[in-house]
Structure 1
Amino acid sequence: MTQVQLFVTCLVDSFFPQTGEAVVNILHRLGIDVDFAPDQTCCGQPQFNAGLRKDARAIAEHTIRTFENTTGDIVTPSGSCAHMFRHNYPEIFEGDSVWLPRAKALAERTYEFTEYLVDKLNVTDLGATWDGPITYHPSCHTLRGIDVDRQPRELLANVKGATLVELPQAEECCGFGGIMSVEHPELSAEWLKRKISNLEMSQAPVLVVTDAGCRMHIAGGLNRQKKSQRVMHIAEVLSHQ
């Protein structure tokens, strides 16, 4: 039986455990054995983005050690964490003859969840069902960081009963941007207002995302504005039968 390692991410672990459960359920249905390294922590992206390279390196070293003792591909329900493993870890260890090869080995094993389903398993139809329209927000790191866009769209297009509606100005950032939402809250709030306005223009009651950061940010804005639309991770939609 094929085995994968789940890198669940700190936001999913802390706020959206149902996303992690949906990922595991889908992989199990596909005959994939899912292992979970209990020593995993944050990927270190907040520290990296804040310029705290020493702290980010310590987290990266811990993560590499944790997964070096495991076998199989690493699957994560987060394009931003996949981007951190693939691009930022090698940058952290650039010129380091000991750690750079270890970072690259980790990067080569890492897949964002929808990317793993479509590109590694060649699965685009999970037998999922949904009643009504949905729309898709391509998270920045997923779309631009690791060039994953076709994969989630193919999976959503095969959800029976769902109508996939195009989100106006879909490629615009939602305003979360990791620590940007903390360092530039006014700019973040304006982008969020635009994203919610575009969601309303789509007339879809459900917005699908691939990253918990976007989910938390947009859902928070909808709640504060007392809007009825929901934000869901794609794994939860794909696990619905």
Structure 2
Amino acid sequence: MARKLKAKDKDADPLESVAEFDPDTIEETDVPNAQVASEPISPLGPPAPVTDPGLSSIELLLKEANRRIEQLQADLTTEREQRQELERKYFQTEALAAQAEKALTGLEQEKQKRQELERKIAVMETEMKHAQSKAETMEKEREARLELERQINSVKFKAEQLPEVAEELAEERKARVTLEREKASLEIEVQHARKLDQLLTEERQARANAQMRASSAESRLAQLEGELAAAKSKRSFWNRG
């Protein structure tokens, strides 16, 4: 934009018309108090009417040229200020555009980094889920293996204890047979003892009965002896009489 403004200023050089001015080309009509309203000299408008009759046409022309030059210089200053303002705004806009482009580039890079991180996070989450599932499966398999090992160890322990258990079982059976035999023998002895006790009881009862009968017989014998003695006494008494 700055280059375009400079080219425009070069094309519109305000001193170009003054450099090409030729006093010999002035017609007689260009005299004081001439009517110039139909073709104005200045592009900015008709010049102010000249009222001083003492000025020559060259002086009038130079005065008008000076006025036009001052006006053009003022316009040039204004244009330059506007151009400088536009250049400043252009540079500011260009800087803002560069900053915006840089920001957009950074934003795009950040977006790509974010997308890459999101992709990596998604991959890591998938891998973590797979690893967690695999770990759970391995834990179940480990628990199953430990349970099998416990069962195998228990079976091995029982298998190692089988000879001892068999020996103990044989001893228990032998002891049971011995106890059963002793029990049978004791039962026979108990039965024999019961029979002996019964016989002893019967013998004691028979002895008691015999003693009772003997006592009764002795009493009867004593009674009979008394009666016999009484009878003998009575017979003796009768014999004496």
Q: Give the alignment's TM-score, normalised by structure 1.
A: 0.15
Larger Rg: 2
- More strand per residue: 1 or 2? 1
- More helix per residue: 1 or 2? 2
